[in-house]
A and B are shown apart, each in its own frame.
Chain A
Amino acid sequence: MIQLGVIVVYLLLLVGLGLSANRLFRGTAKDYMLASHSIGPFLLLMSLFGTTMTAFALVGSTGRAYVMGAGVYGLLASASGIVHSLCFLLIGVPLWSLGRRHGYTTQIQFFRDRLESNFIGYLLFPILVFLVVGYLMVGVLGGGAVVQTVTAGTFGDVDWLASSNYGVPSWLASGVICCVVLTYVFYGGMRGTAWANTFQTSVFMALGVVTFFVIAKAIGGTDNLFENLVIATKQVPEIQLARAKIPKPVFFSFLLIPLSVGMFPHIFQHWLTARSANAFKLSIIVHPIFIMIVWVPCVLLGIWASGPESGIPPGTDENAVLGMLVQTHAGPVLAGLLTAGILAAIMSSLDSQFLCVGTMFTEDILLHNRSGEQLNEQQVVRAARGFIIGVVGLTYVLSLILPRSVFDLGLWSFSGFTGLFPLVFAAIYWRRLTAAGAIGGVLSVLVTWSILFWRSGFGSNARYSFPEAPVNLGVATLPQLHPVVFIFVVAAIAIVVISLFSRPPSEKTLAKFFRR
């Protein structure tokens, strides 16, 4: 019961923070969606990092390390340290500059303008929202799973909670988490989100380190930190220390996954909140270190959980591993705090995603080409909130119908965004990109992603690769790769080939987006 009390207090604190930010709200849609471009280097770092670190990074990484071993860090964390910062520099900074110069609020506004095409917006909108829903499910599922695991046994005399081990059922926890995030996003807008992200990123980084040391002490059983670390790792099966469970071609494929950051609509919106281009520098430099601070303890916890002294039974659901470690090894107050830290990471992504889908709906659909009757600022904000509620409701229902591994669900969402990366890269750096090329590229992502997702049993086959068997090309053999490679390559080829065979953009547009 104490754990639950601590979690509830934390959630109330967040709602209070959102309401406080509301007092600084300037009453304009621009302030609601972009915090009036007022975010400095530190807040930008914390909100970008908090947004990219979600249930995938904490619950997913611990669970996947429990299954596949220590190689999970190289698979995604160190790759993200390189590629995320690359995206911030090569995509984020130029888009910030173009966004400020031409007044964009969403990615779609940029693409419509750059490609002289309204249709690209109507094509991209449902695809981006669909992929964001997949990403949202990661947080909703992860948060529910952690709360259910940590509160197991709290309501021992309530029969109807037997299926959730007498804890708060994951469906209820997920619903409450969605409501809390909705509240502070609605009242605080982007400013509230940036504040909440900064607060929550600090909370989950600090408590993450505490979790690590507490569990190390519990497994090691001594008062010496270093000895505890050694004992905890010594009990891990040797196969978990190397990378025998990760095929090399899949490891290579994963270098592409972090490119998804370049096309996340919520990250685009955070980029535009920056006060100046220089505000990006701190994020670009520190992001790899922050990833390391979060992922190294999670991966170590995951491999420790696979050892006999961890108290985690073999074959445990990977989504539940982090929650079980906390519940098994921390006292009730600390377990509550640590759970709050995990929820902080999850919610600091959900908030940005909620806000961005509302912004996209109002800017790219509702207000786009609107003539005659104009909406006032309050009506715009209200419409954004209505759409957000619809998307969150859909996500929540899907999370109940299609429960999947947090890690795999995240990967499928990221694969779709990675497939769209060649589009944003070409839009910034390639003068010859045309609307037809862009539309062809987006459609190719839609087709390849859908087919491969279907072939993987709608994400249920975690080891699905493409090609499905090695292909002998005569001079070499094409190995089985993660589906992201095929999606990415086909999109890039479609964009280049179709652009070269279609009419180039007008000189006026080129002058607007490129220097001579």
Chain B
Amino acid sequence: MKYAVWILVVFLLVFHQDYWQWNNATLDFGFLPRSLTYHIGISIAAAVVWMLATKFCWPEGLEEASEHSKQEDARA
């Protein structure tokens, strides 16, 4: 799953470069330029991918550092 999430991150970066609709001046819902609608979608997709990343790609051993430093703080 970890690798799947990183592949999704790469997809986000690739789909961010939406050259195929460069000169598209279509308005969605009558007021949102298509490029804006599309990139709002990218922003929402990014939040979802990062949620998955915090679940499946979270670094290990961090709590150990936290506990160690808490003890240091307590001693200080």
Which residues of A are interface residues toward B (Cβ below 8 A)?
36-37, 69-71, 73-74, 77-79, 81-82, 85-86, 89, 93-94, 97-98, 100-101, 103, 226, 229-230, 232-234, 238-239, 241-244, 248, 251-252, 255, 276-277, 281, 284-289, 291-292, 296, 299-300, 303, 515
Contacts and interface: CB of A to CB of B under 8 A. Distances in A.
Contact of A70 (B33, B42, B51): B33
A108 to B, nearest CB: 20
A240 to B, nearest CB: 8
Interface of B: 9, 12-13, 16-19, 22-27, 30-36, 38-40, 42-44, 46-47, 50-51, 53-54, 57-59, 61-63, 65-66, 68-69, 72-73
Nearest to B53: A89
Given A242-B23, A285-B54, A289-B47, A78 B33 contact: no
A229 B42 contact: no
The 9 lowest CB-CB distance pairs between A and B, nearest first, are A277-B62, A100-B69, A229-B31, A78-B39, A70-B33, A288-B46, A241-B25, A230-B30, A241-B33
A69 B35 CA distance: 10
Contacts of B16: 74, 78-79, 82, 255
A74 B72 CA distance: 45
Contacts of A285: 47, 50-51, 54
Given A93-B59, A243-B23, A82 B46 contact: yes
Contact of B43 (A81, A89, A300): A81
18 contacts: A74-B16, A78-B46, A89-B50, A89-B54, A103-B72, A229-B30, A233-B30, A234-B30, A241-B27, A243-B23, A244-B23, A255-B13, A276-B66, A277-B65, A277-B66, A281-B54, A288-B50, A300-B36
B75 to A, nearest CB: 12
B47 A288 contact: yes
Given A242-B24, A285-B50, A74 B39 contact: yes
Contacts of A234: 30-31
A229 B24 CA distance: 19
Contacts, number: 144
Given A89-B57, A100-B69, A292 B33 contact: no
Contact of A85 (B35, B50, B68): B50
A97 B65 contact: yes
A35 to B, nearest CB: 12
Contacts of A37: 69, 73
Contacts of B39: 73-74, 77-78
Most buried by A among B13, B22, B35: B35
B59 A292 contact: no
B30 A100 contact: no
A301 to B, nearest CB: 12
B32 to A, nearest CB: 8
B28 to A, nearest CB: 10
Given A73-B36, A93-B62, A286 B47 contact: yes
A255 B15 CA distance: 12
A447 B5 CA distance: 37
B46 A81 contact: yes
A103 B76 CA distance: 12
